[in-house]
C-alpha cells in the first residue's frame, strides 16, 4: 500500500535552491584545484632566464699576451695558464693554445672592442755614434734604437660560441752581447717584430680578419731608428720599405717593391750597383717579413737570414743562419712573421716586421738610405677605429705585442 508524504511547496523550493548552490560551489572548487595543479607546469615553461645564465662564463675584459714566450715560436697552453688568472682558462672548450696561437670562445652575443698591438723590432747598439745621438738610453758606451709596433683598435659584433684565434706578436731578437768597445760594439743586426693577428672562422680569408697590428722592423748597427717613417709598425695595409731607390754609388738604383694585399715583404737587395764601372745586381739583404697570406721573400744570393712565415702558414719568425756570436752576430725574427737579421760579409743586417703585409728586409747602409727593416702593415675591419703609428719618439708600444678584448 503506497503512502504519500506531503511536503509544502515553499520547502521544496528551498531544497532545490540549496542543491543548485552546492553544485555550483562544487564546480568552482574543482576548477580551482585544476588551476592550482596546472600552474607549476605553466611557470616552468615560461620562466625567463637571467642574463648571467645566458653567458658561457663571466667576461668583462682580458689582455692576451705572449705568456712569457720569446723568439720565433709562440707560447704553449701551460705558458698561458701560468700567465693568466681567469675562470675560463682551465676549460679547453673556452680557451686553448695550438702552435702558439690562442683560441678564445666568445661567451655571449654582443659588441666587443678589440685592441691589438704589434711587437717591436730588436734593438741595435751603435757604439761609434757615441753619446751625441738622441735616440734612447746609452748601452755599453753607445745608444740603442728600436722600431715599435702599431696599435690597431676596432669594435665588432661577435656571436656566442664563435672561436676567435689570437696570435700575439713577439719582439725581434738582438745579437748575443752588446759588447764593450769599438771592436765589439758595432756591426750588429736585429730581427723584426711579429705582428699581432685576431681572426674569426674560417681564419684564412679577408672576411675572417678582425684586426692585424704590424710589427716594427729590426735595425742594423748604423741604422737611423725610423728611416723615412718606414721602420715602425704601419697603420696602412702596405709593409714598410727601406730602399727607396737611391744610394751613393749608382744612378741605376731600383726601389724596393712594397708589399700589399697580405703579401710577404720583399728581400732587401733588389737594386743595381754601378760602382767600379760595372752593373751587378746586389741581393744580399735580409729576407722579408711575413704577411697574412704570403711568406716573406727569400734573397737569391747571400742573405743567410730567415723570412717570416705568413699567418695562414703558422706565423713563425725567421731564424738567422748567419753568425750568432761575436762582432757580426745576428738576431732571429719574432713570432708573428718577423724576419731574421741577415748576415753578409762582415755585416749583420736588419730583419723586417710581420703584419697584414710584410715589411721589406734591410740592406747595408752603403747601398741604401738607411739599413732598418720595414715595419709590417696593419688591417682593421671594425667600426670606431683608432689606429696609431708608434716609433721611438712616442713609445706607444716598445715591447712584445698584446691583444685586449673588452665587452661593451
Residue 13 counted as domain residue:
no
Question: How high does pLDDT run on average in the chain?
Answer: 75
What pLDDT sits at residue 305? 57
Say how far apart CA 213 and CA 195 lie, in whole Å: 5
pLDDT for position 215: 96
Least confident range of 17-21, 183-187, 365-369: 183-187
Please give the grid coordinates belonging to residue 132: 751625441
pLDDT at 29 over 90: no
- Nearest CA to 264 among 293, 305, 237? 293
Question: pLDDT tens across 271-315, in order?
Answer: 444 433 333 344 567 889 999 999 998 865 444 558 999 999 999
Query: 209-213 and 101-105: which strand pairing?
Result: unpaired
Average confidence (pLDDT) over 330-343: 87
Instruction: Provide the H-helix boundaries in 272-367.
Output: none
Cα–Cα dist 150/172, whole Å:
14
Note the pLDDT of residue 1.
Answer: 45
What is the count of structural domains for the chain?
1
What is the model's pLDDT at position 95? 98
Q: What is the pLDDT of residues 192-239, one digit of tens each?
A: 999 999 999 999 999 999 999 999 998 876 555 555 678 899 999 999
pLDDT at residue 17, as a whole number: 44
**Is the predicted pLDDT of residue 6 greater than 70, yes or no?**
no
- The DSSP annotation for 213-267 comes to EPPPP-BBTT--TTGGG-SSPPSSSSPP-S--S-BTTBS---PPPPP-TTPPPPP
Chain centroid, CA 119 distance in Å: 9
Residue 138: pLDDT band (50, 70, 90) is very low
- pLDDT for res 164: 98
Dmax (CA) for the chain in angstroms is 155
Quote the pLDDT of residue 323. 53
Q: Looking at the predicted structure, is the pLDDT value of residue 350 above 50?
A: yes
Whether 25 maps to a domain, the answer reads no
The answer to whether position 218 is within a domain reads yes
Q: Calculate Rg over the CA atoms of the chain.
A: 34
pLDDT digits over 246-282, tens only?
A: 544 444 455 677 888 888 777 766 544 443 333 334 4
**Residue 241 domain-assigned (yes or no):** yes
For residue 222, give its domain range. 61-408
pLDDT of 184 > 90? The answer is no
Residue 176, classified by CB atoms within 10 Å of its CB into exposed (0-12), middle (13-18) or buried (19+), is middle
What is the reported pLDDT for 261? 83
Best mean pLDDT range from 96-110, 222-236, 378-392: 96-110
pLDDT at position 373 is 87
Whole-number percent of the chain with pLDDT over 90: 45
Q: What is the pLDDT of residue 243?
A: 67
Q: What pLDDT shows up at residue 183?
A: 35
Higher-confidence residue: 19 or 343?
A: 343
Is 332 contained in some domain? Answer: yes
Tens of pLDDT, residue by residue over 163-180, are 999 999 999 987 654 433
Question: Which has more confidence, 50 or 382?
Answer: 382
Q: In what order do the strands lie in the sheet with 142-145?
A: 124-126, 142-145, 138-139
Amino acid at each position: 500500500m503506497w503512502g504519500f508524504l506531503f511536503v509544502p511547496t515553499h520547502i521544496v523550493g528551498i531544497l532545490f535552491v540549496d542543491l543548485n548552490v552546492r553544485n555550483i560551489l562544487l564546480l568552482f572548487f574543482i576548477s580551482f584545484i585544476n588551476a592550482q595543479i596546472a600552474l607549476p607546469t605553466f611557470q616552468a615553461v615560461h620562466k625567463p632566464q637571467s642574463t648571467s645564465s645566458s653567458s658561457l662564463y663571466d667576461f668583462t675584459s682580458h689582455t692576451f699576451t705572449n705568456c712569457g714566450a720569446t723568439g720565433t715560436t709562440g707560447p704553449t697552453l701551460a705558458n698561458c695558464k701560468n700567465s693568466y688568472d681567469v675562470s675560463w682558462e682551465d676549460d679547453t672548450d673556452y680557451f686553448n693554445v695550438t702552435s702558439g696561437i690562442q683560441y678564445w670562445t666568445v661567451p655571449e652575443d654582443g659588441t666587443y672592442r678589440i685592441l691589438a698591438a704589434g711587437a717591436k723590432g730588436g734593438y741595435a747598439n751603435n757604439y761609434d755614434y757615441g753619446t751625441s745621438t738622441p735616440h734612447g738610453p746609452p748601452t755599453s758606451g753607445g745608444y740603442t734604437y728600436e722600431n715599435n709596433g702599431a696599435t690597431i683598435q676596432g669594435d665588432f659584433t661577435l656571436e656566442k660560441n664563435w672561436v676567435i684565434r689570437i696570435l700575439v706578436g713577439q719582439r725581434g731578437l738582438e745579437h748575443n752581447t752588446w759588447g764593450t768597445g769599438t771592436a765589439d760594439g758595432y756591426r750588429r743586426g736585429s730581427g723584426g717584430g711579429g705582428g699581432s693577428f685576431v681572426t674569426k672562422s674560417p681564419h684564412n680569408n679577408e672576411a675572417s680578419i678582425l684586426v692585424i697590428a704590424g710589427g716594427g722592423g729590426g735595425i742594423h748597427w748604423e741604422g737611423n731608428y725610423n728611416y723615412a717613417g718606414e721602420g715602425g709598425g704601419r697603420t696602412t695595409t702596405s709593409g714598410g720599405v727601406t730602399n727607396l731607390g737611391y744610394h751613393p754609388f749608382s744612378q741605376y738604383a731600383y726601389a724596393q717593391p712594397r708589399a700589399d694585399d697580405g703579401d710577404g715583404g720583399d728581400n732587401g737587395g733588389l737594386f743595381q750597383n754601378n760602382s767600379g764601372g760595372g752593373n751587378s745586381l746586389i741581393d744580399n739583404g735580409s729576407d722579408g717579413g711575413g704577411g697574412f697570406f704570403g711568406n716573406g721573400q727569400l734573397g737569391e744570393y747571400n742573405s743567410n737570414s730567415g723570412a717570416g712565415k705568413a699567418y695562414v702558414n703558422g706565423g713563425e719568425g725567421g731564424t738567422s743562419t748567419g753568425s750568432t756570436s761575436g762582432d757580426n752576430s745576428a738576431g732571429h725574427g719574432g713570432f708573428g712573421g718577423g724576419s731574421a737579421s741577415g748576415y753578409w760579409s762582415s755585416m749583420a743586417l736588419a730583419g723586417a716586421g710581420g703584419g697584414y703585409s710584410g715589411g721589406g728586409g734591410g740592406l747595408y747602409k752603403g747601398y741604401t738610405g738607411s739599413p732598418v727593416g720595414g715595419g709590417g702593415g696593419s688591417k682593421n675591419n671594425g667600426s670606431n677605429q683608432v689606429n696609431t703609428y708608434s716609433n721611438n719618439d712616442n713609445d706607444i708600444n716598445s715591447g712584445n705585442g698584446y691583444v685586449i678584448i673588452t665587452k661593451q
